[in-house]
Amino acid sequence: MAKILDGVSRTFSEYLLVPRLTKRQHIPANVSLRAPIAKFDGTAEPRLSLNLPFVSASMQSVSGVDMAIALARQGALAFVYCSQPVEKQAEMISRVKLHKAGFVASDSNVKPDATLAEAIAITKATGHSTVAVTDDGTSKGTFVGILTDKDFWEFEDDLNDPVSAYMTSVEHVVHGTEGMSLDEANAMLRKHKKECLPILDKKGRLQSLVFKKDYVDHRKNPNELLDAQKRLVVGAGINTHDYRDRVPALLEAGADVLSFDSSDGYSEFQREAARWIRERYGDAAVLGGGNVVSGEAFDYLVRDADVDFVKVGIGGGSICITREQKGIGRGQASALLDVIAARDRHLEKTGVYVPVCSDGGLANDTQIILALAMGADLVMMGRYFAMTDESPTPRVSIGGRVYKPYWGEGSNRARNWQRYSTTGEWRFEEGIDAYVPIVGPVKDVLGVTSAKLRSTMCNMGASTLRELAENVVLTRISEQSFVEGGTSNVLSLDKDQPQEV
C-alpha cells in the first residue's frame, strides 16, 4: 500500500521568521558568515570552511574559471561543471589554482601575423583585453610582444593589418624573469607604472603574466578563500560514471572540494563511487553527496557513502522540469527540514556534524535567508550566479534589454546525461534553455545578499549561522499575510529606482 507522508510539501515562501531578542552585540559588523563544508566532530575544526555560505551550481552556463575566481575572492566557492571532457575541466581547475599565485597563464595569445580582427575576436571570447604575441601563438611560445586595447582603434584601424604592426614589441616591454617572487613582480609593476608584467624564461619563452589589477583586487578582498599554499579554493562537480578518470585528474589539478552532480543521489551508484574515492584519497578532498530530499537518503549517504556534506533539492531549480517530466521531488522547505532533522539526530548520536547545502529554487534573498535559518549551512545557486558578469555566457539583447543565456544541465543544450541517467540513455529533457537579466558583478550581488543576511541575523539574535539555526522560530503564512508583506494601497514611486550598492 502506498505510504503518504504527513503534511504537504512546502516551500520557503510559505514561512516568515519571528524576530528574537536583539542584544547590544548583535550588529552587522559582529556577524560571522563562516560556514563549514566538511564534516567534523566537536573536538576539531572542519577541514574546510567558507567565509560566505554561497556556492555556485555545477552548470555549463554558471561555473567557469571567472566565476570560480570571483567567488573564491569573496570567500565563497564555485563548482566547476563536469559536463565537459575530463581534461577541459581539469584545465579550468588548474587555471583557478594558478590565478591566486598572481602568475596567470595567458589565455589570449596570437602569432605576430594574426590579424587585428583575430586578436579582437579572442579578447571578446576570453573577456580579457591583454593579448600575448608569441612566435607560435601559444601561451608558452617565444614572447614577441604584447597587444592591448590601447594599441589600436577598433573602428578606425584596418582590422586586416597584422598584430605585429600594432603590438609593443619585446624589446620595449618591461618583463620579469622566471623564478622571481610575486612581491618582486609587483614591485616592478609599481616602479615602471605598468598594468601587466610578462614573465619570461631564460630562452625568452612566455611563462605567465602578472597584473596590477590582481594585486589591487587581492588587497580589496580580505575575505578571500585560500588553501594552505595561498591559492584560491575551488570545487568541481563529478559524476558516478567516469569518476575513475575524472577524480584523479581533478585532484591532480588542485580541486579542493568534489561534489556529485546528480539529480537523484540516493543510489548505490553514488555509494560505490564515494567509497572508491575515499579508499584511494581518504580525506584529501572534501566530498559532497546528493541530491536528496529525505532524512532517510541523508542517513544513507552519510553512513554508507561517507560523504562530507549533503546537497538537498530535487525539482525546485529555476530551469528544472523534473517534477513535470517524472513526478519525483519534494517542496524544498519540507525536504530541507526533514534532512536537517536527520542531520541533528546524527550529530546527537555520533558527535559528528555533517554540513547540509540547500540546492536550487532560491528565487530571492529572502528565500536564501530562510534556507540558512532552517538549518542549511550553505546554499547552492544557478540562476543567481548565471545573471552576473562572471558567468561564462555571452550577453545578448532581447527587446532592448540585456540578458545572458541560462540552461539546465538536463536540457537538450547541455545533454548532461551523466547527471540524470544510470545507463547513458538520453530520451527526454529535464531542464529548459532560458535567458536571465544581467545584474552586475558577483561582488556587488553577494554584497547586497550578505548585508540582508547579516541584518536578519541581528533581528534573530544571532552572531553566527549556527546560532541563527538554533534560535530560529518560524511561522507559516496565509496567502493574505503574503500579500500583506508587499506594499499596499500606495502608489510606489521609488520601487524601481536605482540604489547605491
Least separation in angstroms between CB 57 and ligand IMP: 3
Binding characters for ligand IMP, 370-409, by CB under 6 A (x = yes): ----------xxxxx-----------------------xx
Of the candidate spans 136-144, 236-244, 360-368, 466-474, the one that interacts with ligand IMP by CB under 6 A turns out to be 360-368
Report if residue 237 touches ligand IMP, rule: CB under 6 A. Answer: no
Least separation in angstroms between CB 438 and ligand IMP: 15
Catalytic residue among 73, 330, 383, 419: 419
**Residue with Cβ nearer ligand IMP (301 or 319):** 319
Q: CB-based burial of residue 158 (10 Å sphere; 0-12 exposed, 13-18 middle, 19+ buried)?
A: exposed
What does residue 340 show for φ and ψ, rounded to 5 degrees? Answer: -65, -40
Least separation in angstroms between CB 305 and ligand IMP: 18
Report if residue 53 touches ligand IMP, rule: CB under 6 A. Answer: no
Least separation in angstroms between CB 392 and ligand IMP: 15
**Chain position whose Cβ is nearest to ligand IMP:** 431
Figure out which of the listed residues 119, 319, 339, 354 binds ligand IMP, where binding follows CB under 6 A.
319
435 HSE (CA, 13 A, CB side): 12
Report if residue 289 touches ligand IMP, rule: CB under 6 A. Answer: no
181 HSE (CA, 13 A, CB side): 3
Figure out which of the listed residues 66, 256, 308, 430 binds ligand IMP, where binding follows CB under 6 A.
430
133 to 192, contacts with ligand IMP by CB under 6 A?
A: none
Of the candidate spans 300-308, 356-364, 475-483, 485-493, the one that interacts with ligand IMP by CB under 6 A turns out to be 356-364
Of the candidate spans 31-39, 122-130, 311-319, 368-376, the one that interacts with ligand IMP by CB under 6 A turns out to be 311-319
Containing 468, the helix (H) or strand (E) segment is helix 465-471
Extended beta strands in 18-127, E state: 35-36, 40-41, 49-50, 54-56, 77-80, 109-110
Q: Is 320 a catalytic residue?
A: yes
Figure out which of the listed residues 259, 318, 367, 418 binds ligand IMP, where binding follows CB under 6 A.
318
What does residue 232 show for φ and ψ, rounded to 5 degrees? Answer: -65, 145
What is the layout of strands, in order, in the sheet containing 143-148? Answer: 109-110, 130-134, 143-148, 168-169
Report if residue 46 touches ligand IMP, rule: CB under 6 A. Answer: no
Give 206's strand partners: 200
- Exposure string for 45-71, b = 16+ CB within 10 A, e = fewer: ebbbbbbbbbbbbbbbbbbbbbbbbbb
Q: Does residue 439 contact residue 385 with C-beta atoms inside 8 Å?
A: no
Q: Is 458 a catalytic residue?
A: no
Containing 437, the helix (H) or strand (E) segment is strand 433-437
Binding characters for ligand IMP, 197-216, by CB under 6 A (x = yes): --------------------
Which residues are CB-contacts of 156 (< 8 A; sequence separation ≥ 6)? none
Report if residue 360 touches ligand IMP, rule: CB under 6 A. Answer: yes
Containing 383, the helix (H) or strand (E) segment is helix 383-386
In whole angstroms, how large is the CA radius of gyration of the chain? 24
Least separation in angstroms between CB 436 and ligand IMP: 9
Q: What is the DSSP letter of 341?
A: H
**Residue with Cβ nearer ligand IMP (253 or 362):** 362
**Residue with Cβ nearer ligand IMP (174 or 434):** 434
Among residues 477, 447, 293, 445, which one has the least CA distance to residue 370? 477
Alpha-carbon span 287 to 203, nearest angstrom: 42
Catalytic residue among 320, 343, 383, 458: 320
Alpha-carbon span 110 to 145, nearest angstrom: 10
Q: How many residues bind ligand IMP (CB under 6 A)?
A: 24
- Report helix, strand or coil for 77: strand
Least separation in angstroms between CB 371 and ligand IMP: 11
Of the candidate spans 11-19, 29-37, 354-362, 445-453, the one that interacts with ligand IMP by CB under 6 A turns out to be 354-362
Least separation in angstroms between CB 326 and ligand IMP: 10
Binding positions for ligand IMP, rule: CB under 6 A: 57, 59, 291, 313, 317-320, 322, 359-362, 380-384, 408-411, 430-431
Instruction: Tell me which residues are annotated as active site.
Output: 320, 419
